A and B are shown apart, each in its own frame.
Chain A
Amino acid sequence: MSIKYTNDHEWISIDGDIATVGVTAYALEQLGDLVFVEAPDEGRNLAKGDEAAVVESVKAASEVYAPVSGEVIEGNAAIADDPAKVSGDPTEDGWFFKIKLSDMSELDGLMDEDAYTAYVDSLD
């Protein structure tokens, strides 16, 4: 299992052809307290770059884009009921959706942890 990152601040945990997607602690810090989260429904087909989920803070709404293409096999209902779960533990309980990858080669363009850390440092 490996974790990859996008420059839209999503993390993708890969296990075989199943990817679990969430947003990074850096992104959550930028957003502030979350008050609403909408995860995609099971069965939805997403192309890379599609709007997959919505996160809203008190001030603003932001989209979570699909970092890879595939079929959603599960959306996290627990975070929709309690958005604070995302900020509490972004990489465990705070996952957004699981997707069955349709094109494994899309993973090649993503950053590993070191590259993402360097990317975040370059933003501050």
Chain B
Amino acid sequence: MSEPENDQDLLTTPLDSLHRELGAKMVPFAGYAMPVQYPAGILKEHLHTRAGASLFDVSHMGQGFLMGEHAIEAFETLVPGDYQAMAEGKTRYTVLLNDQGGIMDDLMATRIAGGLYLVVNAACKDQDFAHIEAGTKGKADLQILTDRALLALQGPKAGDVLAKLAPETADMKFMNFREVEIGGTMCFVTRSGYTGEDGFEISVPSAQAEAFARLLLDQPDVEPAGLGSRDSLRLEAGLCLYGHDITTETTPVEGDIKWVVNKRRREEGGFPGADVILDQLENGVERLRVGILPEGRAPAREGTEIQDQDGNAIGTVTSGGFGPSVGGPITMGYVKTAFAAEDTAVNLIVRGKPLAAKVVKMPFTTKSYKT
């Protein structure tokens, strides 16, 4: 999407004045003014998230309810996930697919009483909701939640922090959802995140968002963190950034997230692009998303060409940067399947020079979800 020319054209989240008060550096992202970092800086915010707990504002993301007796089956016509088999209060990561099996967006969908609670990416939310509404018309009712903020509390101490404020969150497991009253605010709490750490995504009414954020920031161990560290954290965790690592041009099989095609759906099909995806599951793909670890210190950024040992182009970097917890550069990208095996030596062409690297298993850091 095109970025607005100046700040006046940007949307703001309910925490905008709090970000500015905290000294955040604000940048345009998906049409919103968002904090890329606070005065501590991306490195410290990243490392604090792996050691304590960080509060991220992700209110730019889209939230909605898809309700009605037939909401689950209607939703399943758009995604490859099995939602019929899921109990209420369970969350599952899935993807919206086009008819070619390409990924239109990735999203979280939670079974709630009477339907689903959806969280989609900011940059895609208008088209996602239009697509979901059109695809479920007459079978389910989409309610877009424009009056709710979304905060992510992430890190090894997130569980203790939230348990102190809301004891009923203590026994929640990874990808569990619960409606909880915290400090007088009714919240939708999902034990999930985008950092590879334990943590929660918490939806609160916009009017109470700032007071709620301040309550969390008042807790020992909790510091604010911006989109910069959110990106380095998710890259270390091997998680895809939509529009970069997965796009309409990549399928879940190529993107190495084939587990989003749940068993029943694999047997029954009935999702967009099922012919393409089921064929790929059966017969393999020509390229795969892999983790790549450069041997030196130079980061290889998105768009970097990947070559084999003979100088032939075999793929492209889709996300690359520096992993503060890894202490060096980390990269993910697509390579021809013949080069996707772990430990395969490849070269990354950075500023015209080949840099030695090898294919590695992701995540780059150990995930620590509460299971």
Given contacts A36-B322, A36-B329, whether A58 and B351 have CB atoms under 8 Å apart is no
The answer to whether B42 and A59 touch across the interface, beta carbons within 8 angstroms, is yes
184-201 of chain B: CB within 8 A of chain A:
none
The distance in angstroms between the C-alpha atoms of A101 and B228, with both chains bound, is: 39
Question: Shortest beta-carbon distance, B325 to chain A, in Å?
Answer: 12
Summarize B's interface: helix, strand, loop or mixed.
mixed
Which residues of chain B are within 8 angstroms of A56 by Cβ–Cβ distance? 298-299, 322
Query: Which residues of A are at the interface with B, using a C-beta cutoff of 8 A?
Result: 32-33, 35-36, 38, 54, 56-61, 80
Mask, B294-306, CB within 8 Å of A = 1, is 0001110100000
Complex Cα gap A60–B324 (Å): 14
Query: Which of A38, A54, A58, A80 is B321 in contact with, Cβ under 8 Å?
Result: A58
- Across the interface, do A58 and B301 meet the contact criterion of CB distance under 8 Å? no
Q: Are B297 and A36 in contact (CB under 8 A)?
A: yes
B37 touches A36 (CB 8 A): no
Q: With A57-B42, A58-B46 in contact, is A32–B351 under 8 Å at CB?
A: no
Known contacts A32-B228, A33-B43, A56-B322; decide if A61 and B299 are in contact (CB<8 Å).
Answer: yes
Which A-B residue pairs are the 5 nearest by beta carbons?
A35-B322, A33-B43, A58-B42, A58-B322, A33-B41
Residue of A nearest to B321 (CB): A58
Sample of 14 more A-B contacts, CB < 8 Å, known A54-B351, A58-B228, A58-B229: A32-B42, A32-B228, A33-B43, A33-B44, A35-B299, A36-B297, A36-B298, A36-B299, A56-B299, A58-B42, A58-B321, A58-B322, A59-B42, A59-B228
Cα A80 to Cα B296 in complex, Å, equals: 11
B347 at the interface (CB under 8 A from A): no
- Report the minimum CB–CB distance from B225 to chain A (whole Å): 12
Contact A59 B321 (CB under 8 A): yes
Q: A58, B329: Cβ atoms under 8 Å?
A: no
Q: How many Å from the CB of A75 to the closest CB on chain B?
A: 15
CB of B66, distance to nearest CB on chain A (Å):
35
**Bound Cα distance A28, B324 (Å):** 18
Considering the complex, give the chain A residue whose CB is closest to the CB of B351. Answer: A54
Chain B interface size band reads: 20 to 34
Q: Given A58-B43, A58-B322, are A32 and B299 neighbors across the interface (CB < 8 Å)? A: no
What residues of chain B lie closer than 8 Å to A35, measured between beta carbons? Answer: 43, 299, 322, 324
Minimum CB–CB distance from B257 to chain A (whole Å) comes to 25
Q: Which residues of A contact B105 (CB under 8 A)?
A: none
User: Which residues of B in the span 3-44 have a Cβ within 8 Å of any Cβ on A?
Assistant: 36-37, 41-44
Query: Does B231 touch A at the CB level, under 8 Å?
Result: yes
- Cβ–Cβ < 8 Å partners of B232 in chain A: 58
Known A54-B351, A56-B322, A59-B228; judge A32-B298 contact (CB<8 A).
Answer: no
Among B227-272, those with CB < 8 Å from A are 228-229, 231-232
Contacts of B329 in A (CB 8 A): 36
Instruction: Report Cα–Cα, A33/B226, bound state, in Å.
Output: 14
Please name the residue on chain A nearest to B235 by beta carbon. Answer: A58
Residues from chain B with a CB closer than 8 A to the CB of A60 are: 301
Residue interface bits B315-341, CB-to-A below 8 A is 1, else 0: 000000110100001000000000000
Tell me whether B37 and A32 are in contact (CB under 8 A).
Answer: yes
CB nearest to A81 among chain B residues:
B297
A-B contact list, 19 entries, CB within 8 Å:
A32-B37, A32-B42, A35-B322, A35-B324, A36-B297, A36-B299, A36-B329, A54-B351, A56-B298, A57-B42, A58-B42, A58-B322, A58-B324, A59-B36, A59-B42, A59-B231, A59-B321, A60-B301, A61-B301
